[in-house]
Chain A
Amino acid sequence: MKLFCRRVIAALLLCAVSGIAHAQEKTAVRQGFELKRNSQKKILVFRPAVSVGAQSTGGMFEPNADWTEKSKANIRIALEKFQRQLGNEIVIAPEAYGEDARKVEEYMALFSAISQAVIEYQFFIGNRLPTKKMDNKAGIFDWSLGAGVADLPGAKDANYALFIYNRDAYGSTGRKVLQVLALLGPGIAVQSGEHRGYAGLIDLKTGDLLWLNADSQIGGDVREPDGSEKRVRQLLEDFPGSAIEKEAAK
């Protein structure tokens, strides 16, 4: 029986990862998966869960609808642009209702649980499971949502599905001052702004997770078109077969 609230553990780990700067893996590809350039594959995108707001000094997240709307639009435009470079076509999933909507939500929840398990138990060095350590050595990255994904709305018209999760909080001035003071003082890392992004590519026949980018400290101000491009670039920079150039520095 799991005794700890998974969300708490995930929050702890995410904070640790971003608060204490060290080389943390953030992307992985399933062994043997390759996406050739200009392969004309269709990629289904479910409502990107994007939420943008400011972070007050106390760390409370303040949602901002205008930013969220802009970010969604910016991210979609940036996605389409990059995918054209990859020679793939983005298909936006149809709006789901009733039983279909419940199914999509449950798979979204599963994707989020898998992303967290990957971060907690495969990427996070101090907490890595022994079997995942062996997997890492053998280049194995084996996670799946199962073949049931083939029944998701829109799945028949695409080869892959891209699941995206983004949460951004831009630090308020008070928090930035606090951050500087904290570094001078007792060595507590106070984050200014939380930027989390997960993106995962799922094979719509097998449900296998082909590629995952789970970054808990990601760049790019998604309120601006340029920033969104940077975000999508970072989310997709290690995308299999990607011709997208990596940013020199994050």
Chain B
Amino acid sequence: MSLFHSAVAGALALTSAAADKQTVAPPPPPYAGVYQPQGVDEIGMWREDDESERKLAASALVIRDEKLNAYVRNVLCETVGADRCRSVRIYIMREPTINASMSPNGTLRIFSGFLLRLRNEAELGAILGHEFGHYEKRHTLNRFKAARSGTDLLAWTALLASMAPSYDARRSYNDLELSVYGSLYRFSRDNEREADFLGISYLNRSLLRPQAAASVFQGLMGEFEASARAKGLKKPNFSKIAFAASHPPDAERAAYLTLLAAPAGASRDNGADRYRGALAPWLPAFLSDQIKLNDFGASEYIINSLAASGWTPTLWMARGDLYRLRGNPRDLVNAAEFYEAAVQLDPTLADAYRGLGLSLIKTGRPSDGQAALRKYLELKPDAADRAFIQMMLPVQGVGQ
């Protein structure tokens, strides 16, 4: 604990110095310890939650890799402290989307799609700390109570609207739907702000860089823009639309997260190397999960932002797969280049030779392509598609 003290003292000093305008998040309140649910709603929710955790623990989608689990747990403990950490069970889910959640009984779920998008340990700490903030403040209960009165109102109004089937009535029902949901989201956004606030408090007190919390959202905004651009959609308006409507708009969020972070923390380690090391065994799988979602803009953005710290064979190969699967003629030329770059760096990367071979064959270079495919089978004699690839070898331009 003594290690934390100087950081906390530093944060406190800064807080009082800049108290008037930009408030750095104060240290978290003393941990209240083990909590037991109270009241009908809460006890009921915990029971459901326990049942759902039983199912989750037996789910085929949970990643059970001990090393990865130990690493994520360790980052959580580093962020929120050992006492708080004890009340949490972490489940890493193989799901290619951006999500993390923590439920009232202490079940923390984080999706592989989120791990893929984070760039360092401090960002992971920020997300885990944010989720823990919801838990410590028992937001689920509040959200549940608010949602209940919100849906009650909707059921009534839907009935009234259908009893008077004029266009006006329908329109006012639609308006009401928006406003009722709007208030649900606003309510929930307050929760999100509170959790953000607490999340940064933990980070300010930890050894990790608190500014990472803002960089997570800056990263996500960049990705959503890239995704929209590639689909020919309008640029998302981040001050109006949040990525999951119940969260504070990302632009606003990134801004206030920056203010909450203790400035002295900016010089701290962000643990990027440790994070990359821990994710390395899973990176090819997580990248492949993402690429096959067919969201070209988002995938390209993710690969490029991972490559900011240097292009690796895995990243070149992922980019090759991305372009080859889209499959426009120019994409195939690019794909071949990317695979070339991958095997230059790692001449044992069998799957890159496969992608290279297929791309070359498709761009009218069958003999070069066949040479690459031969290399693929040489490096990976038990390949799942061995028989097929072998059939492609002696004849030119097979497959069409």
Whether A and B touch directly in their complex, counting CB atoms under 8 A apart, is answered as yes
- Choose one: A60, A69, A105, A186; the contact of B58 (CB below 8 Å): A105
- From 177 to 226 in chain A, residues with beta carbon under 8 angstroms from any chain B beta carbon are 178, 181-182, 185-186, 188, 190
CB distance from A48 to the nearest CB of B (A): 11
- Choose one: A53, A60, A67, A185; the contact of B159 (CB below 8 Å): A185
Q: Which residues of A contact B58 (CB under 8 A)?
A: 101-102, 104-105
- Do A105 and B59 form a contact, CB below 8 Å, given A58-B152, A58-B155, A62-B41? yes
Report Cα–Cα, A175/B46, bound state, in Å.
25
Q: Which residues of B contact A188 (CB under 8 A)?
A: 159, 162
- Do A57 and B152 form a contact, CB below 8 Å, given A101-B58, A102-B60, A188-B159? yes
Report Cα–Cα, A139/B261, bound state, in Å.
71
CB distance from A189 to the nearest CB of B (A): 12
**A interface residues, how many (CB within 8 angstroms):** 30
Instruction: With CB as the reference atom, state the residue of chain A lying closest to B47.
Output: A65
Which segment, of B81-89, B124-132, B143-151, faces chain A?
B143-151
Q: Which residues of A contact B307 (CB under 8 A)?
A: none
- From 119 to 170 in chain B, residues with beta carbon under 8 angstroms from any chain A beta carbon are 144, 147-148, 150-156, 159, 162-163, 165
A51–B51 CB distance below 8 A: yes
B47–A63 CB distance below 8 A: yes
A83-109 CB mask vs B (1 if < 8 Å, else 0) is: 000000000000000000110111000
Report Cα–Cα, A188/B159, bound state, in Å.
8
A63–B152 CB distance below 8 A: no
Report Cα–Cα, A190/B154, bound state, in Å.
13
CB distance from B176 to the nearest CB of A (A): 13
B163–A68 CB distance below 8 A: no
B163–A58 CB distance below 8 A: no
Instruction: With CB as the reference atom, state the residue of chain B lying closest to A52.
Output: B44
B55–A62 CB distance below 8 A: no
B155–A59 CB distance below 8 A: yes
Q: Which residues of B contact A57 (CB under 8 A)?
A: 151-152, 155-156
Q: Which residues of B contact A105 (CB under 8 A)?
A: 55, 58-59
Pick from B37, B58, B144 the residue with the most CB of A within 10 Å.
Answer: B58
Pick from B54, B147, B152, B154 the residue with the most CB of A within 10 Å.
Answer: B152
Q: Which residues of B contact A51 (CB under 8 A)?
A: 48, 51
- Choose one: B41, B45, B150; the contact of A58 (CB below 8 Å): B150
A60–B148 CB distance below 8 A: yes
| In the assembled complex, B43 has its CB within 8 A of some CB on chain A | yes
CB distance from A168 to the nearest CB of B (A): 13
Q: Which residues of A contact B60 (CB under 8 A)?
A: 102, 106
Q: Which residues of B contact A56 (CB under 8 A)?
A: 148, 151-152
Instruction: With CB as the reference atom, state the residue of chain A lying closest to B148.
Output: A56
B342-361 CB mask vs A (1 if < 8 Å, else 0) is: 00000000000000000000
Instruction: With CB as the reference atom, state the residue of chain B lying closest to A103.
Output: B58
| In the assembled complex, A66 has its CB within 8 A of some CB on chain B | yes
Classify chain B's interface size.
Answer: 20 to 34
| In the assembled complex, B387 has its CB within 8 A of some CB on chain A | no
Q: Which residues of A contact B165 (CB under 8 A)?
A: 186
Report Cα–Cα, A9/B162, bound state, in Å.
24
Report Cα–Cα, A63/B37, bound state, in Å.
13
| In the assembled complex, A39 has its CB within 8 A of some CB on chain B | no
Q: Which residues of A contact B151 (CB under 8 A)?
A: 56-60
Report Cα–Cα, A175/B44, bound state, in Å.
20
| In the assembled complex, B40 has its CB within 8 A of some CB on chain A | yes
- Choose one: A59, A64, A102, A181; the contact of B44 (CB below 8 Å): A64
Report Cα–Cα, A160/B21, bound state, in Å.
71
- From 16 to 51 in chain A, residues with beta carbon under 8 angstroms from any chain B beta carbon are 49, 51
Q: Which residues of B contact A241 (CB under 8 A)?
A: none
| In the assembled complex, B293 has its CB within 8 A of some CB on chain A | no
Pick from B44, B144, B153 the residue with the most CB of A within 10 Å.
Answer: B44
A63–B159 CB distance below 8 A: no
Q: Which residues of A contact B152 (CB under 8 A)?
A: 56-58, 174
CB distance from B144 to the nearest CB of A (A): 8
CB distance from A60 to the nearest CB of B (A): 5
Instruction: With CB as the reference atom, state the residue of chain B lying closest to A67.
Output: B44
CB distance from A3 to the nearest CB of B (A): 16
A53–B148 CB distance below 8 A: no
- Do A63 and B48 form a contact, CB below 8 Å, given A57-B152, A58-B148? yes
B148–A181 CB distance below 8 A: no
Instruction: With CB as the reference atom, state the residue of chain A lying closest to B37.
Output: A65
- From 28 to 49 in chain B, residues with beta carbon under 8 angstroms from any chain A beta carbon are 37, 40-41, 43-48
Report Cα–Cα, A211/B80, bound state, in Å.
52
CB distance from B143 to the nearest CB of A (A): 12
CB distance from B142 to the nearest CB of A (A): 14
Q: Which residues of A contact B37 (CB under 8 A)?
A: 65
| In the assembled complex, B395 has its CB within 8 A of some CB on chain A | no
- Do A178 and B44 form a contact, CB below 8 Å, given A185-B163, A186-B163? no
Instruction: With CB as the reference atom, state the residue of chain B lying closest to A47.
Output: B54
| In the assembled complex, B57 has its CB within 8 A of some CB on chain A | yes
A62–B148 CB distance below 8 A: yes
- Do A68 and B47 form a contact, CB below 8 Å, given A58-B150, A60-B147? yes
Report Cα–Cα, A67/B44, bound state, in Å.
9
B44–A62 CB distance below 8 A: yes
- Do A178 and B156 form a contact, CB below 8 Å, given A105-B55, A105-B59? yes
Q: A51-B48, A56-B148, A102-B58 are in contact. List 4 more A-B contacts (CB 8 A).
A: A58-B155, A66-B40, A101-B54, A178-B159
Q: Ordered nearest first, which 6 A-B pairs have the shortest CB separation?
A: A58-B151, A65-B47, A63-B44, A57-B152, A105-B58, A63-B48
24 contacting pairs across A/B (C-beta < 8 A): A51-B48, A51-B51, A56-B152, A58-B150, A58-B153, A59-B151, A60-B148, A63-B47, A63-B48, A64-B43, A65-B43, A65-B47, A65-B48, A66-B40, A66-B43, A67-B44, A101-B54, A101-B58, A178-B156, A178-B159, A181-B159, A185-B163, A186-B159, A188-B162
